[in-house]
Amino acid sequence: MNQATTPGPDRPNVVVLFPDQLRALSLPLYGEQQIQTPNIDRLASEGLVLDNAISNCPVCTPARAMLVTGRYPQTTGHLINTTRTRHSELSIGDAFGHAGYKTAWVGKWHLHTGTWPAIDRMPQHPDWVPEGRDRLGFDYWRAYNQHMVYFDGFVHKDDWNYERWDGYETNGLLNYAFEFMDGAGDDPFLLFLSPHPPHYTPFQFAPEDCYA
């Protein structure tokens, strides 16, 4: 994060693809033969593969908090899935934003759980994450906290009203990602693209053109 806060002449755009519960051994890259991931295979063949990237707390909220803050679960307080991120935590979104980057979170968040006063979180909208420090420095927000609606699901923007995407989740979220990248113009950006699939295997499978 220290490097990100020092603007330089060359500041590349950063896109973090963050699917939920996608095990390495589920990929053809590591020998899986029944699942097709042509785009992930291409990223691996043209980029750098880190074979020893391991989470020391492979539970949803703790793992997400580690990735976003760079700190251990016992430090962030995220040891289980029912904790809310402290506003004092500094995230990768904060660091890149301070360096002049536009920042975006698209998709599942799951760092805003537990019980809150109604003024903070309306009970009839359990996936609404309020603006401000609850979003940890991510300005463009097309996200939800933890719902499991893969088809025709929804995200929140700048208020608690939700907006539905059409069709399969990865396609819907990708459209928001394009919207953000097109709007960034010549400014460098940090984008977290965080689909919930393949956490739960749905009864309806995505068409072939949705394969990752």
Q: Where are the domains of the chain?
A: 14-201
Residue 125 is predicted with a pLDDT of 59
Q: What is the pLDDT along the chain (212 residues), one digit of tens a residue?
A: 455 545 456 889 999 999 988 888 889 999 988 888 898 899 899 988 888 877 888 888 999 999 999 999 999 988 888 778 889 999 999 999 999 999 999 999 998 864 444 444 444 556 778 888 989 999 999 999 888 888 888 898 987 788 999 998 999 999 999 999 999 999 999 999 999 888 776 556 666 776 66
Q: Order across the sheet with 140-144: list the strands.
A: 14-17, 189-194, 102-108, 140-144, 154-156, 162-164
**Could you tell me how far CA 39 lies from the centroid of its own chain?**
18
The CB density around residue 56, as the number of other CB atoms within 10 Å, is 9
Please state, in angstroms and rounded to a whole number, the distance separating the CA atoms of residues 32 and 20. 18
Collapsing DSSP to helix, strand or coil, 143 comes out as strand
**Could you tell me how far CA 78 lies from the centroid of its own chain?**
17
Is 110 catalytic? The answer is: yes
Is 60 catalytic? The answer is: yes
Quote the pTM value.
0.83
Please state, in angstroms and rounded to a whole number, the distance separating the CA atoms of residues 30 and 48. 15
Please state, in angstroms and rounded to a whole number, the distance separating the CA atoms of residues 161 and 128. 8
The CB density around residue 168, as the number of other CB atoms within 10 Å, is 22
In Å, the largest CA–CA distance within the chain is 50
What is 14-201's CATH number, 3.40.720.10, 2.40.30.10, 3.30.2000.10, 3.30.300.30?
3.40.720.10
What are residue 144's DSSP bridge partners?
108
φ and ψ at 85, to 5 degrees? -70, 135
Contact of 91 with 105, CB cutoff 8 Å: no
Residue 200 is predicted with a pLDDT of 72
The active-site residue, picked from 57, 87, 98, 110, is 110
